[in-house]
């Protein structure tokens, strides 16, 4: 095998390992962001509350009827 081919193969495997590591880190960050967004949504922190909207208790009461 030519030395330049061997170097290219080693380089490409190292690049693939590096990309795999970056992918795993990015996936963990996305999962953390998803959890954070859902938590904020449930706490009502993603939008400014509209004072004309009914409280959740009132809406749940209507649904239960």
**pTM for the full predicted model:** 0.58
All residue ranges of the chain with pLDDT < 50 are: none
For residue range 50-60, what is the model confidence (pLDDT) as tens digits?
A: 888 888 888 89
Taking the alpha carbons at both ends of the chain, their separation in whole angstroms is 78
Could you give the CA distance from residue 31 to residue 28 in angstroms, rounded to a whole number? 5
| Per-residue model confidence (pLDDT) at position 22 | 98
**Nearest 5 degrees, angle CA 11-CA 19-CA 13?**
25
Query: What is the domain count for the chain?
Result: 1
Burial 21-55 (b: 16+ CB within 10 A, else e): eeeeeeeeeeeeeeeeeeeeeeeeeeeeeeeeeee
| Per-residue model confidence (pLDDT) at position 50 | 83
Determine the structural domain holding residue 15 and report its residue range: 3-64
| Per-residue model confidence (pLDDT) at position 1 | 66
């Amino acid at each position: 095998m030519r030395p330049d081919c061997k170097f290219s193969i080693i380089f490409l495997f190292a690049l693939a390992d590096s990309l795999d590591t970056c992918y795993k880190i990015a996936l963990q960050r996305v999962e953390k962001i998803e959890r954070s967004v859902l938590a904020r949504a449930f706490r009502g922190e993603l939008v400014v509350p509209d004072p004309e909207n009914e409280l959740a208790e009132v809406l749940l009461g209507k649904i239960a009827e």
